[in-house]
Amino acid sequence: MQMELRVGGRFRLGRKIGSGSFGDIYLGLNVQTNEEVAVKLECIKSKHPQLHIEARLYRVMSGGIGIPDVKWCGLEGDYNVMVMELLGPSLEDLFNFCQRKFSLKTVLLLADQMVCKRLLSGFSCYDLPFEKLVKITRVEYIHQRDYIHRDIKPDNFLMGLGKRGNLVYIIDFGLAKKYRDSRSQHIPYRENKNLTGTARYASVNTHRGIEAFATYLRYSRTLGFEDTPDYNHLRQLFRSLFQRQGLRYDYLFDWNLLKTAKRLQQSVVPAIGRTD
């Protein structure tokens, strides 16, 4: 008989569903409520344990739209454990599902929740490579809490499930850092610092001297290390474009349409050649 693994007394551990900055993520079940959850495990022998810090940051961010709810965290055997709200696929997964191309409508629907700080120039909006978008509305909330995420990428933005299926969540605070003190003073910029996060999606200041910035828009170039982006201006840029294109805020993303088309195709194909 297979042994049942539990954490926190009431969460049954299931299959592995992903990996974060410093740990693995498993599907779990609250045996008291039958609610499915995500369980993040980190070995206590890790060189640089981060899960307890991440759990604390989720509490700091608690209550924000698009911030997952932490159900329980603590020590279980040789592992630090954090149990949190189960979410849907990442934007990277959905981008792959859509053959690595999003329509203008989907980009703008996502931007309205996240707002793009910088885009790849030299492309039309219709051909916009999604992996070059940087998300701000969720990030703005984190900045208002005096932290920076430091690992912004499509893998760390997940869609919700069920009634929250159209809501974008931000996850994985393992590399987050406080950037302002209690007097709202910005931390100083440091030269020759090792890269933090994922190089492909790192900030302009992180890429200084490493990559050419010909692909970034003028606004992004003008921002200094201590400058605060004009979030409202950025949001309005994309809302205005959305309106000019005559698009509808119906939250029908490309992946919703693709899934519907595939379901219709599966229902039609068996009917071909059938005689009544």
Binding-site residue positions for ATP: 40
- Choose, from 151, 155, 172, 254, the residue flagged as catalytic: 151
Cβ-Cβ contacts under 8 Å for 43 (sequence gap 6 or more): 23, 78, 79, 80
The answer to whether 250 is a known catalytic residue is: no
In the DSSP assignment, the letter for residue 2 is P
CA angle 198, 65, 81 (to 5 degrees): 60
The count of other CB atoms within 10 Å of the CB of residue 53 is: 16
In the DSSP assignment, the letter for residue 154 is G
Phi-psi region of 106 (alpha: psi -120 to 50; beta: other; left: phi over 0): alpha
Crossing angle between the packed helical segments 137-144 and 231-244, to the nearest 10 degrees: 160
Residues with a catalytic annotation lie at: 151
